[in-house]
Amino acid sequence: MIQVLRTGPLATVQDLGRPGYADVGVSPSGAADQASHRLANRLVGNPEGAATIEVTLGGLAVVSDRGVWVALTGALVDATVGGRQVALNAPCYLPAHQQLQLGTATAGLRTYLAVRGGLGVPPVLGSRSTDVLGGLGPAPLRAGDRLPVLPAGVLQPNVDLAPVAAPPAVVDARIEPGPRADWLSPEARDLLTRVRWAVSADTNRVGVRLEGARLDRVRTEELPPEGVVRGAVQVPPDGRPIVFLADHPVTGGYPVVAVVRGADLAALAQARPGCTVRLHPDPEYAPLTVLPED
């Protein structure tokens, strides 16, 4: 059993999410940085889909009632076990009744704590993930929460240290045109990939809001809600683009003008407020061509 002593700004239980329920209005949710989540599980010999703790900006403290293997990945934080410094991106033994404590993240936004066996909170619609927008799954963690740990599988931790680069100060993300790219003016389509965007403080697991320019639309009428995916870039009336993350809604009323390539979403999930983001046309896709009206 893992007991939560302190959570920091936000700590939630996450796995790989609950895809397949968009038709009934349920977001996929899951780990915002799935690459870091998967790595943490592999380091302790878990299946990649085992539930971990996603910690925003550090500050977590936990204790276990028995000795367990753990791993920390993602955002850079100072981590100690029983007051002794431990490494990130490596398996670490947490003895019974000793505290694992995280400091404040110094680079990146989200750190993942995997425990060998995985966390055994009750699944909802096949997933143990917290959906902060839809309110599904376990509530965000609070001091005093106790999290069961499932029995370990047959896989054994067999890596001493995974060579992982620190989260970048500048995030480069590739985009392809979205279904409503022609709702932007030609100048706005150019700005989208030319501006050095800054991550707004108004950013969470639902999406990353970008600041730096106003994207003017040539069509301003209301759009009926339509399906959206993780990585969709919406432009609301204020002209500031939003890149959807794990807890995005399943439909939206604003035009989706672009979609971030899936491989680049992990870096965006680690982009903290003030971080620079550059959007680049994905070379695998042809540039948008707006056909003349008949």
- Residue reference for tokens 């550059």: 278
Q: Is 218 helix (H, G, I), strand (E, B) or coil?
A: coil
Dihedral sign of CA atoms 69, 2, 34, 30 in order: positive
pLDDT digits 0-9 by tens, 55-65: 999 999 999 99
pLDDT digits 0-9 by tens, 224-240: 888 899 999 999 999 99
Query: What is the phi/psi pair of residue 101, to 5°?
Result: -125, 140
Domain match, 107 and 188 both = no
Domain match, 15 and 128 both = yes
Q: Which residue, 108, 132, 147, sits at the end of a domain? A: 147
**pLDDT: which is higher, 81 or 163:** 81
**pLDDT: which is higher, 282 or 261:** 261
Domain match, 215 and 90 both = no
Domain match, 175 and 132 both = no
d(CA 68, CA 53): 15
Number of compact structural domains in the chain = 2
pLDDT at 287: 56
Q: Give the domain extent around 220.
A: 170-281
d(CA 75, CA 111): 5
- Say if 217 falls within a structural domain: yes
Domain match, 100 and 195 both = no
Domain match, 87 and 193 both = no
- Say if 290 falls within a structural domain: no
267's enclosing H/E stretch is: helix 265-269
